[in-house]
Amino acid sequence: MEDHPLLSRIVRSKQTEVEASEHVRPVSLLEQDVSTMREQPLSPRVAWAGGKKRLRVIAETKKKSPSRGVIREPYDPMAIVSGYLMNGASGISVLTDGPFFGGHPDDLRLLKEKLARETRVPFLRKDFLILPYQIWESRCLGADIVLLIARILSFERLSEMIALSRRLGLSALVEVHSREELDMALDAGSDLVGINHRDLDSLVIDLGLSEKLAPHIPKGVLRVAESGLKTPEDRKRMEDLGYDAVLVGESFLTAPDPGVALKEFLRDVD
């Protein structure tokens, strides 16, 4: 991680945060809570099955990011996500990291409690998950999907966290930014990969990465193209490459009405 200054800072901050959480609420308590939960997580594979195959949009809510600074102020995740759900979102991504993205784990918990019952849309916990404790925590928060970033995990830890996610009924979206990371994700057992156009070190976006990596994703693995997507033409480009879904945040959140921006993003193009 020495070669990744921003990611190193984020991971260090996360380690401190998780240690504090474990002290207050040990994993044995989380396990107890999970054993009493009645609602099962919703798998994207199930939610997106049926009907005409079309590209799905996972719409993201976040207040700020390292690349952009403050994105939306005032920040009202409930209003933003309600707008997304009314305008065709097939998934919701909630940034729960506080220091770098201005979110909170309770954002996800409240959104799921208030909005998920009316929809059949999976919710992604978008954070920097580095320890199995956070998988238990994500399940307790009501997540359906967890994000695992290949670049910040060893192969052993990634395999362990994919297996634990499965055991708890969660889907793991494994995010990669190179052929090596893609191979690592697949070898670790991933069946849901996210190609992140944003290099998390330089923060530079390259939409061509989805094209480069698409031929190397085996059939049967769900594929998501992430970051830097703005227009219906960008959406169509990913659709034509065979992606199942795209993950979009900033371009919706910087629009006056994020729900309307999602609707425009879904507009038909030739």
Q: Which residues contact 206 (CB under 8 A, 6 or more apart)?
A: 197, 199
Based on CB atoms, which residue is closest to ligand LARABZUK, 131 or 195?
Answer: 195
Closest distance between ligand LARABZUK and the C-beta of residue 226, in Å?
A: 4
Q: Which residues contact 44 (CB under 8 A, 6 or more apart)?
A: 56, 91, 122, 144, 145, 171, 192, 222, 245
Classified as helix, coil or strand, 143 is coil
Based on CB atoms, which residue is closest to ligand LARABZUK, 30 or 174?
Answer: 174
Based on CB atoms, which residue is closest to ligand LARABZUK, 142 or 258?
Answer: 258
Strands 69-70 and 64-65, bridge-based pairing: antiparallel
Closest distance between ligand LARABZUK and the C-beta of residue 7, in Å?
A: 7
Closest distance between ligand LARABZUK and the C-beta of residue 107, in Å?
A: 14
Based on CB atoms, which residue is closest to ligand LARABZUK, 6 or 266?
Answer: 6
Contact 151, 8 (CB under 8 A): no
What whole-number distance in Å separates Cα of residue 221 and Cα of residue 245?
12
Query: Which structure tokens are listed for 159?
Result: 């395999």
Closest distance between ligand LARABZUK and the C-beta of residue 6, in Å?
A: 6
Based on CB atoms, which residue is closest to ligand LARABZUK, 137 or 250?
Answer: 250
Query: Which structure tokens are listed for 144?
Result: 């359906």
Closest distance between ligand LARABZUK and the C-beta of residue 61, in Å?
A: 10
Contact positions vs ligand LARABZUK (CB under 6 A): 6, 60, 65-67, 196, 198, 200, 203, 226-229, 247-251
What whole-number distance in Å separates Cα of residue 182 and Cα of residue 193?
8
Residue 187: CB atoms within 10 A of its CB come to 11
Closest distance between ligand LARABZUK and the C-beta of residue 241, in Å?
A: 17
Based on CB atoms, which residue is closest to ligand LARABZUK, 30 or 80?
Answer: 80
